[in-house]
Amino acid sequence: MYRAYAINKNGIRNEIKAESIVIAISQDKEFEIVLNQKGNLSDGVLIITSADEDTMIKAHSHPVFNIRPGASNVIHLNIDMIENR
């Protein structure tokens, strides 16, 4: 299980005891970072969206991750909704 921290404005780390962390970007866009990984992901991190099949059918779209490089130690992770064809 990975260790996770909340970092306050003074830079102090407070450990979070959780199986996963959900980050809500907006009311209908969120993603989950799984901290209790199973299997061999080569030290990677599993990140999933929470969209269920019913929501995708009603919205005629599905979420995809848009990952862009930033500074040398930064990536920008956006969730875009792509229309189903």
Q: How many beta carbons lie within 10 A of that of residue 63, not counting itself?
A: 20
Mean pLDDT value of segment 38-58: 64
Q: Would you kindly state where each structural domain of the chain is located, as residue ranges? A: 20-83
pLDDT at residue 1 in the model:
77
Q: What is the dihedral of CA 2, 39, 34, 71, to 10 degrees?
A: 70
Query: Quick check: 12 pLDDT over 90?
Result: yes
pTM: 0.61
Per-residue confidence at 10, pLDDT binned at 50, 70, 90? Answer: very high
Amino acid symbol at 29: K
